[in-house]
């Protein structure tokens, strides 16, 4: 019966879950030199598809304009610059630049009537998806001035003498905001944390697990931001899906006091992926599949037959934290933050992630406390079972789907 429900949920959720860790985001680098302002605007190619769905841009596409040309036109109409309250003129030398795979990059140049009290307004994409985040980095004469995250309700940047004096604090606070929004919008990270909260009943063990997860992701976030380690983000995202599936399997393992259902499911998934890899439908490192399979089977066997299972769970939680930290780090690196301000950006972003995580944990514990006070034990048990059935199907889907990317 459980397997049937899993299959049904897997199908129902698979349409919408593919982008659960996908954030609508864009980035820009502005350089102010007297009255001249140059901007390099970076956008995921996936975002460009939103623009192409707009009627007037669909017509341009049908007139044999390239997607890059349409993106250039869209930006020219949605970026605005002024100085001392007067609009800056967009020069006619807008061009498309080479960029890393999966991104589009456009350079625009403005001539302003004054070099002071500059205001930048970016309307691009916010009215297509209101959860969009834009990271803007502002330079003056090639020296970093500030970095700011723009949101639907805050799409402008003001640059004056007061801002210049507060640039370090503003950058720090902006990255706190960015880190908070990243963790709150990262459904896969939150589902993993929620899984830990519902899986572990012992408060001391739960504290150690959450602390271990936090230490783990803080370490790899720093390693990635400092470019000491450059992870393969596609594989990292797939392994994050695996960690979510693993937490759900651990729940059912404890509930049934038998590791064999979990082991059979893991072997089945791994075998199917190896077959797909063997016939060149997927290109998956064999060491990844066999390594994850070996670690998981070993864990379930040790957990069920030895008393060291709880300590092993803490160890795995730290390891999973390391994996999730690479995911955080890849997002931070994608913002192209100024390397001369690495420590400020890193501390602010990590603090924002921790604040978001604590907020989420506190909210869940409060809801749990209310249910306990109202003696809704049956509701709690049913909700946990339902959550982990859904989580297992989501984790399976993310693990497999992200290997195809």
pLDDT digits over 273-323, tens only? 777 777 777 677 777 777 788 878 777 777 776 655 567 778 888 888 899
Beta bridge partners of 150: 134
d(CA 332, CA 168): 17
User: 243 and 314, same structural domain?
Assistant: yes
Look at residue 88 and tell me if it is in a domain.
yes
Look at residue 302 and tell me if it is in a domain.
yes
* Dihedral sign (CA 15, 18, 24, 27): negative
Question: How high is the mean pLDDT of the chain?
Answer: 80
User: 223 and 157, same structural domain?
Assistant: no
User: 364 and 378, same structural domain?
Assistant: yes
User: 145 and 238, same structural domain?
Assistant: no
- pLDDT, one tens digit per residue, over 3-23 is 434 443 444 444 344 444 456
d(CA 278, CA 286): 10
pLDDT value, residue 169: 66
Contacts with 325 (C-beta within 8 Å, 6 or more apart), sequence order:
216, 217, 218, 219, 220, 221, 223, 224
User: 148 and 194, same structural domain?
Assistant: no
Single pTM value for the model: 0.62
Tokens representing residue 222 in the block: 């720093």
User: 379 and 345, same structural domain?
Assistant: yes
Domain termination site, one of 171, 203, 226: 171
Share of the chain above pLDDT 90, in %: 10
pLDDT at 269 over 70: yes
pLDDT at 164 over 60: no
- pLDDT, one tens digit per residue, over 381-390 is 788 888 988 8
Look at residue 96 and tell me if it is in a domain.
yes
Look at residue 177 and tell me if it is in a domain.
no
pLDDT value, residue 307: 58
d(CA 303, CA 174): 43
- pLDDT, one tens digit per residue, over 314-362 is 888 888 889 988 888 877 776 666 555 677 778 888 888 889 888 988 8
Domain termination site, one of 171, 194, 229: 171
User: 245 and 152, same structural domain?
Assistant: no
pLDDT value, residue 78: 92
pLDDT at 171 over 80: no
Domain range for 329: 2-21+186-404
User: 349 and 284, same structural domain?
Assistant: yes
End-to-end CA separation in angstroms for the chain: 32
User: 143 and 80, same structural domain?
Assistant: yes
Lowest mean pLDDT among 13-27, 129-143, 249-263, 270-284: 13-27
Query: Which is higher by pLDDT, 120 or 257?
Result: 120
- How many domains is the chain built from? 2
pLDDT value, residue 6: 42
User: 280 and 237, same structural domain?
Assistant: yes
Look at residue 180 and tell me if it is in a domain.
no
- pLDDT, one tens digit per residue, over 21-55 is 456 788 899 999 989 999 999 887 777 778 888 88
Lowest mean pLDDT among 158-162, 216-220, 252-256, 292-296: 158-162
Q: Is 103 in contact with 113 (CB distance < 8 Å)? A: no
User: 30 and 16, same structural domain?
Assistant: no
The band of 182, judged by pLDDT with boundaries at 50, 70 and 90, is: confident
Beta bridge partners of 33: 36
Look at residue 179 and tell me if it is in a domain.
no
Contacts with 40 (C-beta within 8 Å, 6 or more apart), sequence order:
28, 29, 97, 105, 106, 107
pLDDT value, residue 88: 94
Domain termination site, one of 171, 206, 233: 171
The band of 121, judged by pLDDT with boundaries at 50, 70 and 90, is: very high
Look at residue 176 and tell me if it is in a domain.
no
Look at residue 360 and tell me if it is in a domain.
yes
User: 216 and 152, same structural domain?
Assistant: no
């Amino acid at each position: 019966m459980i397997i049937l429900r899993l299959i049904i949920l897997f199908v129902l959720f698979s349409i919408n879950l593919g982008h659960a860790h996908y954030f609508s985001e864009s980035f820009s680098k502005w350089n102010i030199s007297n009255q001249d302002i140059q901007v390099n605007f970076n956008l995921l190619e996936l975002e460009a598809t939103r623009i192409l769905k707009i009627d007037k841009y669909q017509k341009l596409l049908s007139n044999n304009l390239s997607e890059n040309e349409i993106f250039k036109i869209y930006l020219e109409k949605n970026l605005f610059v002024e100085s001392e309250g007067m609009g800056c003129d967009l020069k006619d030398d807008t061009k498309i630049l080479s960029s890393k795979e999966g991104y589009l990059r456009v350079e625009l140049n403005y001539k302003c009537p004054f070099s002071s009290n500059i205001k930048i307004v970016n309307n691009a994409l916010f009215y297509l998806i209101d959860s969009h985040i834009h990271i803007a980095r502002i330079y003056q004469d090639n020296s970093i001035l500030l970095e700011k995250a723009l949101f639907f309700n805050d799409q402008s940047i003001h640059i004056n003498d007061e801002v210049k004096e507060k640039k370090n604090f503003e950058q720090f606070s902006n990255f706190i905001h960015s880190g908070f929004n990243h963790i709150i919008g990262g459904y896969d990270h939150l589902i993993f944390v929620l899984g830990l909260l519902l899986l572990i009943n012992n408060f001391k063990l739960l504290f150690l697990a959450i602390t271990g997860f936090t230490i783990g992701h803080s370490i790899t976030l720093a390693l990635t931001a400092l470019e000491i380690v450059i992870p393969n983000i596609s594989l990292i995202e797939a392994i994050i899906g695996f960690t979510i599936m693993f937490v759900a399997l651990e729940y059912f393992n404890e509930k049934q006091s038998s590791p064999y259902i979990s082991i059979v499911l893991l072997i089945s998934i791994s075998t199917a992926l190896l077959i797909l890899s063997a016939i060149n439908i997927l290109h998956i490192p064999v060491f990844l599949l066999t390594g994850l399979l070996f670690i998981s089977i070993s864990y379930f066997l040790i957990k069920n037959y030895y008393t060291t299972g709880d300590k092993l769970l803490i160890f795995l939680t730290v390891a999973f934290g390391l994996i999730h930290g690479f995911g955080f780090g890849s997002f931070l690196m994608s913002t192209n933050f100024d390397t001369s301000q690495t420590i400020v950006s890193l501390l602010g972003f990590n603090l924002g992630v921790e604040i978001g995580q604590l907020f989420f944990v506190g909210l869940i514990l409060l809801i749990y406390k209310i249910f306990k006070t109202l003696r809704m034990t049956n509701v709690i048990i049913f909700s946990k079972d339902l959550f982990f059935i859904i989580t297992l199907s989501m984790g399976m889907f993310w693990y497999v789907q992200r290997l195809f990317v």
